[in-house]
Chains A and B, each alone.
Chain A
Amino acid sequence: MSVLAHVFEAAGIATIVLSSVREMAAKVAPPRALHCEFPLGRPLGRPSDPEFQHDVLARAFALLEAPSGPVLADHPEVIEADEQPLACSLPPRFDPNVAPAVDEARGLRKAYDRTLARRGVTSVGRAVTADEIPHALAVLDAIANGQEWTTAGIPGGNTVAVCHDISTYYEEAALELVDGPVPGGRAMEDWFFDKTAAGATVLAARAAIRDAGAKFPIWFYMTPGQR
């Protein structure tokens, strides 16, 4: 972002960066940066909080008054990513003849469809559609249980893309199943990996692919790095 700020400023446009990594903003020194120590992925801090978002924008636009730069200011509030898993109920076991993750994913389909109807758009679809999520989980379950990953038929042939679709399917479904305050920055991730059969399946398949000697990017980016 700080690189692009220099590029856009050179084209004659005044720029303001909402910085998320202070050291990088200090090093690249874009003309104007407001560092926001907010959860990564939420540069304006709080979803569904227009007042807070306007506060961030007002502080950002105020930097346009500086007579010279570079200017690096800090938003006074720090928002920590919530490390508590989301409280979200999961469907009961329905079909004992399929892997738990497959059963679970099928059970979440109605919730996913409700989110899709409300939002009108989904970010599932990089490698598989929602229809194919249970099959994708069946393939990962087979890999976790000893199937050779190179011949398992990973949908789309891309481990990272299919895991993105699985976790996004769960996240979008969960948005319909939770009440109360907006979940914090890592709450949904913690729920997926710590509480769901699908999360456990992705982690187990990732470990199996790693142990089979696959190249680093093929297995590592199947989940967040700290997993």
Chain B
Amino acid sequence: MNGDQMMRAHSATLPAPEFPNPAWVTPKPLAESMVAIVTSAALYAAGDEGFSNADTSYRFIASDRRDLVMGHWSPNFDHTGVAIDLNVVYPIDRLTELAERGIIGAVAPRHVSFAGNQPDDVATIRLDSGPAAAAALRKDGVDVVILTPV
């Protein structure tokens, strides 16, 4: 079993929180929607505070920043793809192109980064930091988020 297969097999056994009454948003047309990225890659803009191990907080990343540090603590995934091309984790240039082509309405002014290695109960991101980040993006006028894991 290679490293990715091992990690996927392990991750599949982790406890899965339940959402008995899941929300559902009927989106407006994509060409009128403002889109943001939410990643769990623990990326942060150079100069911002880094992530601690099992950090439950988040960082905003302004849309014009490309000098991003990979702050994830897990050694169990590839870190070089994002060093070669940020867009393989954080597709900011692709969203910009889609906005220029009129396929999406706009790129959000800022995006959100969490650390993927959360405590197993995920209580804080579910009840505290997650809702706070979501409310901030909604206030920015964000209609759609694309979530990119590592």
Contacts and interface: CB of A to CB of B under 8 A. Distances in A.
Given A41-B77, A68-B24, A28 B148 contact: no
Given A3-B126, A40-B7, A64 B30 contact: yes
Contacts of A48: 84-85
A11 B131 contact: yes
A47 B84 contact: yes
Interface stretch (A95-103, A145-153, A218-226): A218-226
Interface string B113-141: 01010000010011000110111011000
A31 B21 CA distance: 11
Interface residues of A, number: 80
Contacts of B38: 1, 4, 8
A15 B145 contact: yes
A61 B78 contact: no
Interface stretch (A131-139, A183-191, A208-216): A183-191
Nearest to B88: A47
Contact of A13 (B1, B89, B142): B142
A142 interface: no
Contacts of B75: 160, 163-164, 167, 221-225
Interface in A1-38: 1, 3-24, 27-31
Interface string A45-57: 1111010011001
Contact of A188 (B11, B46, B80): B80
A80 to B, nearest CB: 8
A121 B46 contact: yes
A201 B7 CA distance: 24
26 contacts: A1-B147, A4-B38, A4-B114, A9-B23, A12-B25, A18-B146, A20-B8, A20-B149, A23-B11, A28-B17, A41-B77, A41-B150, A44-B91, A53-B88, A57-B95, A57-B98, A61-B104, A81-B78, A123-B83, A126-B71, A167-B79, A182-B81, A186-B2, A224-B75, A225-B7, A225-B75
Given A11-B131, A11-B138, A20-B8, 12 more contacts: A1-B149, A3-B130, A10-B134, A24-B11, A27-B16, A31-B23, A41-B77, A45-B88, A47-B81, A57-B98, A69-B24, A120-B67
Interface of B: 1-4, 6-8, 10-12, 14, 16-17, 19, 22-27, 30, 33, 38, 40-41, 46, 50, 53, 66-71, 73-85, 87-89, 91, 93-95, 97-98, 103-104, 114, 116, 122, 125-126, 130-131, 133-135, 137-138, 142-150
Interface of A: 1, 3-24, 27-31, 39-48, 50, 53-54, 57, 60-61, 64, 68-70, 80-81, 83, 119-123, 125-126, 160-161, 163-164, 167-168, 171-172, 175, 182-183, 185-189, 221-226
Ordered nearest first, which 6 A-B pairs have the shortest CB separation? A11-B134, A41-B78, A41-B77, A47-B85, A23-B12, A27-B16
